[in-house]
Amino acid sequence: MNQIRMIGIDHEKATVDYREMFSFTKAAAGHAMEILKNKKYIDGVVILSTCNRLELWVSSNEESGISLYDELCHLKGITEGDYRAYFTEREGDEAIRHLFETACGLKSKIIGDDQIITQVKDALALSREVYCTDKVLETLFRTAVSAGKKVKTNVRLTNNDISAITGAVQTLKEEGHDISAMTCMVIGNGEMGKLAANALLAEGADVTVTVRQYHNGLVQIPGNAARINYGDRMEYLKYCDLVVSATSSPHCTVKYSEVTQVRRKKKVIMIDLAVPRDIDKTVGELDGVTLYDIDSFGYKVEHEKLRMATEQAKAILDEFIADFNTWYSCRDLVPMIQDICRKASVDTSLRMTKPLKKFSASEKEKDEIRDAVEAASSKVINKMLFGLRDSMELSAFHNCLEHLKTLFEE
């Protein structure tokens, strides 16, 4: 019997310092999943790694005594220190509900975060790409994504479409900064970089986006933003009031040694939206530099409005969770149902032998009739059995299948 298990570290228990220790790039996540998939008791693996969370999901044999925490530390090469207090482990129903709530943004630092649905979907896609998913995790993640989309379509968890940059913009404005008067540079042109550039453009800022040289001319940049080569970012820094870095690079995009060599003419605000971090945290110690990281921002919503929206979202999730649990509890019965359908359809076809002798049709035509009868009867019986499944207790349905099996035993 498969068991759904997960272990996660996120913004609720751990600062960015600890989260980045366990974060994965896309390539590293793919390699890690391949290693785990080869473990004896593991049938499927998905790694969800975002700015605010790292989650390791497995579908495993119940007899497995595998420690997900130990496996994660081994994958990350962490041999010293005990970080268990920063992790949460879940299994079964608790794990299932957690994923559904995560996918619709209820578990995000910024409630209703628009990016998380895509991140959950991409995590599953990567697992597929390296052949590490299985039917259980495939169905679980697909259903969670569908639930998240329905929540997003039908429930307004916040007043606006939001992401981490929304919280950053709100914080800066509350602190009295006039973003419309700022010269801004966004390092990175991925999803988060584009969101950042668009958010700053919407505020009326002068925005320039860095583009890797080997991508120049091929990459579209947001709106009216200008572009510069990534290699020229330090030279442009001297003119900036605000720098946002949001790449998926495992290395720093802004180093302490590089910033100290830049003759800046003004104070600069730097916002690091990446995990692992893009900007060397010691940069924040330099005179004239104010450095924020992903943990510096939240997004304020009206408490009562959020409570009502959350209740609506959870009601939608309950329906999808019930559908998944129905499938999950019956998945081991599917082979039995298929076997009964096959035997019943063959039995029906054999009963057609005598009536078909009365027809002046060729043997080929009679075979086609038998095949059509088999296919039709199989579909009808399959529909009847799944109808029974939805109308009775699982134990009673299982007994029903066992009895039907005996009708076709030789």
Task: In whole angstroms, give the CA distance from residue 344 to residue 338.
Answer: 10
Which residues partner with 89 through β-bridges?
7
Task: In whole angstroms, give the CA distance from residue 99 to residue 138.
Answer: 13
Q: Measured between alpha carbons, how far is residue 135 from residues 45, 101, 270, 318 in Å?
A: 11, 21, 44, 21
Task: In whole angstroms, give the CA distance from residue 305 to residue 159.
Answer: 10
Tokens of 92: 């079964």
The 3-state secondary structure of the chain reads CEEEEEEEEECCCCCHHHHHHHCCCHHHHHHHHHHHHCCCCEEEEEEEECCCEEEEEEEEECCCCCCHHHHHHHHHCCCCCCCHHHEEEEEHHHHHHHHHHHHCCCCCCCCCCCHHHHHHHHHHHHHHHCCCCCHHHHHHHHHHHHHHHHHHHHCCCCCCCCCHHHHHHHHHHHCCCCHHHCEEEEECCCHHHHHHHHHHHHCCCEEEEEECHHHCCCCCCCCCCEEEEHHHHHHHHCCCCEEEECCCCCCCCECHHHHHCCCCCCCEEEEECCCCCCECHHHHHCCCEEEECHHHCCCCCCHHHHHHHHHHHHHHHHHHHHHHHHHHHHHHHHHHHHHHHHHHHHHHHHCCHHHHCCCCCCHHHHHHHHHHHHHHHHHHHHHHHHHHHCCCCHHHHHHHHHHHHHHCCC
Q: Positive or negative CA dihedral for 316, 317, 320, 326?
A: negative
How many residues are there in the chain? 410
* Listed residue (355, 298, 267) closest to 168, CA to CA: 298
Check 51, 73, 184, 240 and give the catalytic one. 51
**Has 330 been annotated as catalytic?**
no
Instruction: Give the catalytic positions in this structure.
Output: 51
